Structure 1
Amino acid sequence: MKKHLLPVLLIAATAILWLVFYQQLPTQIPIHWNLNGVADGYATKFNAMLMNIGMMIILYVLLIFSPKLDPKRKNYQKFSRSYSMITIAILFFLFLINALVIFTGIGYDIPIGKIVPFIVGFLFIVLGNYMHSVKPNYFVGIRTPWTLSNDTIWKKTHRFGSRIFILAGFLFIISPFLPDSLVRIFMFPVIFLIIILPIVYSYWVYRRMDME
């Protein structure tokens, strides 16, 4: 039960935050911002509250039950601490995003375009620090046909992916210091790094092993 304490507290803290400030929020509040930090998506405060709290609850339930459904469920015991830290990091990230939505909604002039990249960057650095210890499974990590077919490919890919995530995290953190005109140009290569490179690398390792 101890491993559930912090995640449950984060979800409860998010719900309390919404309830405390709910009456101060206008009927419509911003819930999405573009890369320049300009609000481009709105919702009623009730729907925003349900959506954000519900997302955290559903995500946590999925993270709890995924190991029980995974054919490789025994491997979760080998990286249980990393799995817990990844879960906490994601929920803490969502808690911070909820706080930004609420305080922006009640009128605080928060530089979303400057703060969110910091939060995203630190999330990727944390994920990168624990990714290398994730063992083969079907729900968490870089799951490609090649990593799932071979434990060595999984291990090498996640070591590589760990470095990519940490690098991407630092790139996110420095992005607010760039001119607004360069942010969009800068962010797409970073997203490419995160999504594409680990997949390509896993295939490269597979081909290299296949030729040996």
Structure 2
Amino acid sequence: MTVPSRMLSLVATAVASMASALAYPFLPKRIATHFDVDGQPDRYGSRASAAIGFPAMMAGITVVNDRLGTWPGGRDREDAESGVRARNQAVALIELSLLSAHLDTLANGTGLHADMSRVNRVVYGVLMIALGNVMPKLPRNGLIGIRTPWTMADPTVWERTHRLGGYLITAAGVVSLASLPATGKRAARLPMAAALGAIGVSAAYSYVAYTRRAR
């Protein structure tokens, strides 16, 4: 993991751990640990699981990412280095989104109730905008990205699809943030619909791009 991304992941994990230690005495024995897209709690657990779960997950992700080395590789050294940077940036963003979810869980558990529907939309929006900027830099690989039979078969189709997907997922993030003033279930579900639409259009485009190149 590159130094800035690694430091960001370590800091996020440390902040999550310290927040758990500070909040633990004030948490009830049973606490909401997961919220649905409407911001309503749909899973409960002990205060120990609420305090330990996210920090442990974040630490595990950091360790696994360090072990991945130069994966997913690339066609040359520059391509491989670009892929590693993109992977590390994506991991750091995931860590930050987990930190946000952890802090929201602790806040609700200690009585500092937040509007989880709006919190979710902020987290999803920022995450999608950041991922949209990372996607065009991803080299072709078998795990991360828009992996259709057509992107995996042609590196040019992969590049074009991820360039378009980057724009569309960024736009989906903007839609998520723009929906903050709205209330109700439709507004809460808008970010997921926008993200699925962006992925669906990108996947369809990969087929179109491949068939055009095959002519």
**TM-score for both structures, normalised by structure 2:** 0.87
Q: Which residue of 2 aligns with 1:29?
A: 31
Q: 2:119 aligns with which of 115, 118, 138?
A: 115
Q: 2:102 aligns with which of 98, 103, 117?
A: 98
C-alpha RMSD of the superposition: 2.2
1:1-212 alignment runs, 5 A limit: 2-3=3-4, 4-68=6-70, 70=72, 72=74, 75-183=79-187, 186-187=190-191, 189-211=193-215
Separation in 2, partners of 1:50, 1:145:
40
Separation in 2, partners of 1:30, 1:88:
25
The alignment partner of 1:88 has SS state of helix
Q: Structure 1, residues 45-86: CA drift from partner, whole Å, max 9, x if none?
A: 112233212221232233333455646595431344333322
Separation in 1, partners of 2:179, 2:28:
31
CA contact (8 A) 2:54 2:99 kept: no
Q: Which amino acid counterpart does residue 120 of structure 1 have in structure 2?
A: Y
The more displaced of 51-60 and 108-117 is: 51-60
The alignment partner of 2:146 has SS state of coil
Separation in 2, partners of 1:151, 1:135:
8
User: Which sections of structure 1, spanning at least 5 residues, go unmatched?
Assistant: none
CA contact (8 A) 2:73 2:80 kept: no
Q: Quote how far apart the aligned CAs of 1:133 are.
A: 1.5
The more displaced of 175-184 and 95-104 is: 175-184
The alignment partner of 1:35 has SS state of coil
In structure 2, relative to structure 1, the CA distance for the partners of 1:204 and 1:34 (3 Å cut) is same
The alignment partner of 2:199 has SS state of helix
Q: Quote how far apart the aligned CAs of 1:88 are.
A: 1.6
Q: Which amino acid counterpart does residue 11 of structure 1 have in structure 2?
A: T
User: Which sections of structure 2, spanning at least 5 residues, go unmatched?
Assistant: none
Q: Which amino acid counterpart does residue 107 of structure 2 have in structure 1?
A: F
Separation in 2, partners of 1:188, 1:202:
21
Task: Name the count of aligned residue pairs.
Answer: 211
Q: Structure 1, residues 122-181: CA drift from partner, whole Å, max 9, x if none?
A: 110011012111111223222222212211011001101101111110111122322404
Separation in 2, partners of 1:66, 1:203:
30
The alignment partner of 1:31 has SS state of strand
The percentage of aligned residue pairs carrying the same residue is 24
CA contact (8 A) 1:72 1:138 kept: no
Q: Which amino acid counterpart does residue 197 of structure 1 have in structure 2?
A: V
**TM-score for both structures, normalised by structure 1:** 0.88
